[in-house]
Structure 1
Amino acid sequence: MVMEDNCEPRSARQNFLGITSKNCTINARLGNSAPPGFITAQLRSSLDDPSGFVFEGGFVVGTGEVSLGRAWGPYSRVIFHRTKFSSVVSPEGWNAWDFRGHEDKFTYAEVDCTGPGANTSKRVKWEKKLTPSQLQAYSLSSFINKDKWLAKIPTIFL
Protein backbone atom coordinates (compact mmCIF):
# COMPACT_ATOMS: atom_id res chain seq x y z
CA MET A 1 0.00 0.00 0.00
CA VAL A 2 1.21 3.51 -0.77
CA MET A 3 -0.32 6.43 1.14
CA GLU A 4 0.52 9.97 0.07
CA ASP A 5 -0.21 13.59 0.80
CA ASN A 6 -2.19 14.41 3.88
CA CYS A 7 -3.58 10.96 4.64
CA GLU A 8 -4.51 10.77 8.31
CA PRO A 9 -4.79 7.42 10.07
CA ARG A 10 -6.41 8.32 13.39
CA SER A 11 -5.72 5.47 15.77
CA ALA A 12 -2.60 4.34 17.58
CA ARG A 13 -4.08 0.84 17.49
CA GLN A 14 -4.47 0.70 13.72
CA ASN A 15 -2.12 -1.81 12.07
CA PHE A 16 -0.77 -1.35 8.55
CA LEU A 17 0.38 -4.50 6.76
CA GLY A 18 3.11 -3.28 4.42
CA ILE A 19 3.39 0.26 3.24
CA THR A 20 5.36 3.24 2.13
CA SER A 21 3.73 6.37 3.49
CA LYS A 22 4.68 9.79 2.17
CA ASN A 23 3.82 13.10 3.87
CA CYS A 24 1.09 11.68 6.09
CA THR A 25 -0.10 12.92 9.44
CA ILE A 26 -0.42 10.19 12.04
CA ASN A 27 -2.69 11.44 14.81
CA ALA A 28 -2.33 9.17 17.84
CA ARG A 29 -5.04 9.90 20.42
CA LEU A 30 -4.85 7.75 23.51
CA GLY A 31 -6.40 9.91 26.18
CA ASN A 32 -5.61 8.50 29.61
CA SER A 33 -4.78 4.94 28.58
CA ALA A 34 -1.80 3.15 30.02
CA PRO A 35 0.55 1.70 28.96
CA PRO A 36 1.53 3.83 25.94
CA GLY A 37 0.09 2.85 22.57
CA PHE A 38 1.93 1.91 19.39
CA ILE A 39 1.83 3.52 15.96
CA THR A 40 2.89 0.31 14.24
CA ALA A 41 2.95 -3.42 14.90
CA GLN A 42 4.73 -4.88 11.89
CA LEU A 43 4.68 -8.62 11.19
CA ARG A 44 7.73 -10.03 9.48
CA SER A 45 8.37 -13.72 10.17
CA SER A 46 11.63 -14.36 8.33
CA LEU A 47 14.68 -12.62 6.93
CA ASP A 48 13.39 -13.37 3.42
CA ASP A 49 10.04 -11.63 4.03
CA PRO A 50 10.16 -8.40 1.96
CA SER A 51 7.53 -6.55 4.02
CA GLY A 52 7.89 -3.53 6.28
CA PHE A 53 6.62 -0.02 6.90
CA VAL A 54 8.37 3.11 5.66
CA PHE A 55 7.11 6.56 6.65
CA GLU A 56 8.72 9.39 4.70
CA GLY A 57 8.03 13.00 5.63
CA GLY A 58 4.83 13.88 7.41
CA PHE A 59 4.04 14.27 11.08
CA VAL A 60 3.35 12.22 14.20
CA VAL A 61 1.05 14.21 16.50
CA GLY A 62 -1.59 13.45 19.10
CA THR A 63 -2.29 13.12 22.78
CA GLY A 64 -0.95 10.72 25.37
CA GLU A 65 2.24 8.78 24.67
CA VAL A 66 3.00 6.31 21.89
CA SER A 67 5.89 4.17 20.80
CA LEU A 68 6.81 4.33 17.14
CA GLY A 69 6.38 0.59 16.91
CA ARG A 70 6.38 -2.81 18.52
CA ALA A 71 7.43 -6.14 17.12
CA TRP A 72 4.72 -8.42 15.81
CA GLY A 73 7.31 -10.87 14.55
CA PRO A 74 10.97 -11.71 15.06
CA TYR A 75 12.13 -9.68 12.02
CA SER A 76 9.90 -6.61 12.35
CA ARG A 77 10.86 -3.63 10.12
CA VAL A 78 9.75 0.04 10.47
CA ILE A 79 11.55 3.14 9.23
CA PHE A 80 10.70 6.80 9.75
CA HIS A 81 12.56 9.18 7.41
CA ARG A 82 12.38 12.98 7.62
CA THR A 83 9.28 12.79 9.83
CA LYS A 84 8.45 15.50 12.37
CA PHE A 85 7.63 14.00 15.78
CA SER A 86 5.66 15.86 18.42
CA SER A 87 6.23 15.14 22.11
CA VAL A 88 3.67 12.30 21.87
CA VAL A 89 6.53 9.91 20.93
CA SER A 90 7.87 8.01 23.96
CA PRO A 91 11.56 8.50 24.81
CA GLU A 92 12.32 4.78 24.22
CA GLY A 93 10.65 4.93 20.80
CA TRP A 94 10.35 1.18 20.19
CA ASN A 95 9.21 -1.96 22.01
CA ALA A 96 10.30 -5.58 21.47
CA TRP A 97 6.91 -6.77 22.84
CA ASP A 98 6.85 -10.59 22.86
CA PHE A 99 10.08 -10.85 20.84
CA ARG A 100 12.70 -9.94 23.42
CA GLY A 101 15.94 -11.64 22.48
CA HIS A 102 15.33 -10.95 18.75
CA GLU A 103 16.20 -7.24 18.88
CA ASP A 104 19.28 -7.73 16.69
CA LYS A 105 16.96 -8.99 13.92
CA PHE A 106 14.61 -5.97 13.94
CA THR A 107 15.04 -3.04 11.59
CA TYR A 108 13.73 -0.06 13.52
CA ALA A 109 15.22 3.22 12.36
CA GLU A 110 14.71 6.98 12.39
CA VAL A 111 16.63 8.97 9.80
CA ASP A 112 16.74 12.79 9.73
CA CYS A 113 13.62 13.13 11.89
CA THR A 114 12.90 16.39 13.74
CA GLY A 115 10.73 17.82 16.49
CA PRO A 116 10.48 17.37 20.26
CA GLY A 117 9.82 13.61 19.96
CA ALA A 118 12.86 13.04 17.71
CA ASN A 119 15.43 13.13 20.53
CA THR A 120 17.05 9.69 20.28
CA SER A 121 19.26 9.99 23.39
CA LYS A 122 16.90 7.70 25.37
CA ARG A 123 15.92 5.39 22.51
CA VAL A 124 16.38 1.65 22.80
CA LYS A 125 20.00 0.68 22.16
CA TRP A 126 19.04 -1.73 19.36
CA GLU A 127 17.57 0.92 17.07
CA LYS A 128 19.41 0.71 13.72
CA LYS A 129 21.49 3.55 12.26
CA LEU A 130 21.02 3.29 8.49
CA THR A 131 23.61 4.45 5.96
CA PRO A 132 22.38 6.39 2.89
CA SER A 133 22.70 3.26 0.73
CA GLN A 134 20.75 1.16 3.25
CA LEU A 135 18.04 3.83 3.35
CA GLN A 136 17.87 3.87 -0.48
CA ALA A 137 16.85 0.20 -0.36
CA TYR A 138 13.61 1.35 1.32
CA SER A 139 12.71 4.12 -1.13
CA LEU A 140 9.39 3.88 -2.98
CA SER A 141 11.08 2.78 -6.22
CA SER A 142 13.28 0.17 -4.54
CA PHE A 143 11.06 -1.16 -1.77
CA ILE A 144 7.46 -1.03 -3.02
CA ASN A 145 7.73 -0.57 -6.78
CA LYS A 146 10.79 -2.62 -7.74
CA ASP A 147 8.76 -4.60 -10.30
CA LYS A 148 7.06 -1.37 -11.58
CA TRP A 149 3.53 -2.49 -10.63
CA LEU A 150 2.40 1.05 -9.74
CA ALA A 151 2.52 2.13 -13.40
CA LYS A 152 0.06 -0.67 -14.25
CA ILE A 153 -2.69 0.59 -11.96
CA PRO A 154 -5.55 2.02 -14.04
CA THR A 155 -6.52 5.65 -13.60
CA ILE A 156 -10.14 6.16 -12.62
CA PHE A 157 -11.81 9.46 -13.38
CA LEU A 158 -14.91 10.39 -11.41
Structure 2
Amino acid sequence: MSNSSCVINAVGRFPNLPGFVTAQGRSSADDPSGFVFEGCSIKGNGEVNLGRAWEPYSRVIFKKTYFSEITPQGWVAWRAANDPSTTTYAEVDCKGPGADTSKRVPWMKNLSSSELYEFSFASFINSDRWVDKLPIIS
Protein backbone atom coordinates (compact mmCIF):
# COMPACT_ATOMS: atom_id res chain seq x y z
CA MET A 1 0.00 0.00 0.00
CA SER A 2 1.32 3.44 -0.90
CA ASN A 3 1.44 6.65 1.08
CA SER A 4 -2.14 7.95 1.32
CA SER A 5 -3.51 11.47 1.66
CA CYS A 6 -6.56 10.07 3.41
CA VAL A 7 -7.63 6.73 4.81
CA ILE A 8 -11.26 5.65 4.74
CA ASN A 9 -11.97 2.79 7.11
CA ALA A 10 -15.25 1.24 5.97
CA VAL A 11 -16.56 -0.76 8.92
CA GLY A 12 -19.89 -2.41 8.20
CA ARG A 13 -22.51 -3.14 10.82
CA PHE A 14 -23.93 -6.10 8.90
CA PRO A 15 -21.37 -8.71 7.78
CA ASN A 16 -23.27 -9.89 4.67
CA LEU A 17 -24.58 -6.49 3.56
CA PRO A 18 -21.97 -4.20 1.97
CA GLY A 19 -22.27 -0.52 2.80
CA PHE A 20 -21.27 2.52 0.75
CA VAL A 21 -18.26 4.82 0.86
CA THR A 22 -20.19 7.67 -0.81
CA ALA A 23 -23.77 8.79 -1.44
CA GLN A 24 -23.32 11.91 -3.56
CA GLY A 25 -26.27 13.82 -4.97
CA ARG A 26 -26.74 16.28 -7.82
CA SER A 27 -30.27 16.96 -9.00
CA SER A 28 -29.19 18.45 -12.35
CA ALA A 29 -26.25 18.37 -14.75
CA ASP A 30 -25.62 22.06 -13.93
CA ASP A 31 -24.91 21.39 -10.23
CA PRO A 32 -21.13 21.93 -9.81
CA SER A 33 -20.72 19.53 -6.86
CA GLY A 34 -19.16 16.08 -6.69
CA PHE A 35 -16.64 14.01 -4.76
CA VAL A 36 -13.04 13.48 -5.91
CA PHE A 37 -10.73 11.21 -3.92
CA GLU A 38 -7.10 11.19 -5.01
CA GLY A 39 -4.25 9.30 -3.37
CA CYS A 40 -6.46 7.71 -0.73
CA SER A 41 -6.78 4.27 0.79
CA ILE A 42 -10.05 2.45 1.41
CA LYS A 43 -9.93 -0.48 3.80
CA GLY A 44 -12.33 -2.11 6.19
CA ASN A 45 -13.75 -5.29 7.58
CA GLY A 46 -15.40 -6.61 4.40
CA GLU A 47 -16.64 -5.67 0.96
CA VAL A 48 -18.00 -2.18 0.40
CA ASN A 49 -19.56 -0.37 -2.57
CA LEU A 50 -17.75 2.76 -3.74
CA GLY A 51 -20.95 4.75 -4.05
CA ARG A 52 -24.65 5.07 -4.71
CA ALA A 53 -26.52 7.78 -6.54
CA TRP A 54 -28.25 9.93 -3.95
CA GLU A 55 -29.67 11.89 -6.90
CA PRO A 56 -29.73 11.12 -10.66
CA TYR A 57 -26.60 13.16 -11.55
CA SER A 58 -24.37 11.79 -8.81
CA ARG A 59 -20.64 12.32 -9.46
CA VAL A 60 -17.76 10.49 -7.71
CA ILE A 61 -14.20 9.91 -8.91
CA PHE A 62 -11.50 7.81 -7.26
CA LYS A 63 -8.02 8.47 -8.63
CA LYS A 64 -4.80 6.74 -7.59
CA THR A 65 -6.60 5.15 -4.65
CA TYR A 66 -5.81 1.85 -2.94
CA PHE A 67 -8.86 -0.43 -2.58
CA SER A 68 -8.84 -3.38 -0.18
CA GLU A 69 -12.23 -5.12 -0.58
CA ILE A 70 -14.69 -3.53 -3.01
CA THR A 71 -17.82 -5.31 -4.29
CA PRO A 72 -17.34 -6.59 -7.86
CA GLN A 73 -20.00 -4.20 -9.24
CA GLY A 74 -18.49 -1.28 -7.25
CA TRP A 75 -21.39 1.14 -7.75
CA VAL A 76 -25.19 1.21 -7.24
CA ALA A 77 -27.55 3.35 -9.34
CA TRP A 78 -30.09 3.72 -6.51
CA ARG A 79 -32.03 6.96 -7.29
CA ALA A 80 -30.56 7.04 -10.82
CA ALA A 81 -31.90 3.54 -11.56
CA ASN A 82 -34.12 4.80 -14.40
CA ASP A 83 -31.05 6.13 -16.26
CA PRO A 84 -27.68 5.43 -14.61
CA SER A 85 -25.90 6.96 -17.62
CA THR A 86 -26.55 10.39 -16.05
CA THR A 87 -24.11 9.55 -13.23
CA THR A 88 -20.36 10.05 -13.38
CA TYR A 89 -18.63 7.26 -11.51
CA ALA A 90 -14.99 6.66 -12.38
CA GLU A 91 -11.91 4.88 -11.11
CA VAL A 92 -8.55 6.02 -12.47
CA ASP A 93 -5.17 4.38 -11.81
CA CYS A 94 -6.40 2.62 -8.66
CA LYS A 95 -4.51 -0.29 -7.07
CA GLY A 96 -5.05 -3.10 -4.60
CA PRO A 97 -7.12 -6.29 -4.47
CA GLY A 98 -10.41 -4.37 -4.87
CA ALA A 99 -9.27 -2.39 -7.95
CA ASP A 100 -10.26 -5.04 -10.51
CA THR A 101 -12.85 -3.28 -12.71
CA SER A 102 -13.68 -6.27 -14.93
CA LYS A 103 -17.05 -6.82 -13.18
CA ARG A 104 -17.96 -3.19 -12.50
CA VAL A 105 -21.31 -1.79 -13.62
CA PRO A 106 -21.36 -1.16 -17.39
CA TRP A 107 -22.25 2.51 -16.91
CA MET A 108 -19.05 3.36 -15.01
CA LYS A 109 -17.25 6.09 -16.97
CA ASN A 110 -13.82 5.95 -18.61
CA LEU A 111 -12.74 9.59 -18.49
CA SER A 112 -10.47 11.18 -21.07
CA SER A 113 -7.46 13.31 -20.05
CA SER A 114 -9.44 16.52 -20.58
CA GLU A 115 -12.39 15.21 -18.55
CA LEU A 116 -9.98 14.22 -15.76
CA TYR A 117 -8.52 17.73 -15.81
CA GLU A 118 -12.03 19.09 -15.17
CA PHE A 119 -11.89 17.24 -11.82
CA SER A 120 -8.32 18.21 -10.88
CA PHE A 121 -7.43 20.23 -7.81
CA ALA A 122 -6.80 23.39 -9.87
CA SER A 123 -9.91 23.12 -12.03
CA PHE A 124 -12.52 21.52 -9.75
CA ILE A 125 -11.54 22.00 -6.11
CA ASN A 126 -9.72 25.33 -6.20
CA SER A 127 -11.15 26.94 -9.34
CA ASP A 128 -12.11 30.09 -7.42
CA ARG A 129 -8.83 29.90 -5.42
CA TRP A 130 -10.65 29.54 -2.07
CA VAL A 131 -7.97 27.16 -0.77
CA ASP A 132 -5.31 29.82 -1.40
CA LYS A 133 -7.26 32.22 0.84
CA LEU A 134 -7.35 29.95 3.90
CA PRO A 135 -5.46 31.30 6.92
CA ILE A 136 -2.09 29.75 7.65
CA ILE A 137 -1.75 28.42 11.17
CA SER A 138 1.80 28.36 12.44
TM-score range, shorter chain: over 0.9
Query: Which structure ranks higher in relative contact order (CA pairs < 8 Å, sequence separation ≥ 6)?
Result: 2
Aligned counterpart for 2:105 among listed residues 118, 124, 130? 124
Matched position secondary structure for 2:52:
strand
> Counterpart of 2:6?
24
* Percent of aligned positions that are identical: 57
Amino acid at match of 1:81: K
Instruction: Between 50-59 and 147-156, report the one with greater CA deviation.
Output: 147-156
CA offsets, 1:67-122, max 9 Å, x none? Answer: 00000001000000011111x21000000113202211100000111111000011
> Counterpart of 1:84?
66
Q: How many residues align?
A: 136
> Counterpart of 2:136?
155
CA distance in 1, matches of 2:91, 2:102: 12
Unaligned runs of 5+ in 1: 7-22
Amino acid at match of 1:74: P
CA distance in 2, matches of 1:120, 1:152: 38
**1:70, 1:96 within 8 Å by CA — same for their partners in 2?**
yes
Q: Is 1:74–2:62 an aligned residue pair?
A: no
Matched position secondary structure for 2:98:
helix
> Counterpart of 2:42?
60
> Counterpart of 1:19?
none
**2:80, 2:86 within 8 Å by CA — same for their partners in 1?**
no
Amino acid at match of 2:137: I
**2:21, 2:48 within 8 Å by CA — same for their partners in 1?**
yes
Give the TM-score normalised by the residue count of structure 2.
0.93
Give the TM-score normalised by the residue count of structure 1.
0.81
Amino acid at match of 1:28: A
Q: Deviation of residue 31 (structure 1)?
A: 4.8
Amino acid at match of 2:127: K
> Counterpart of 1:9?
none
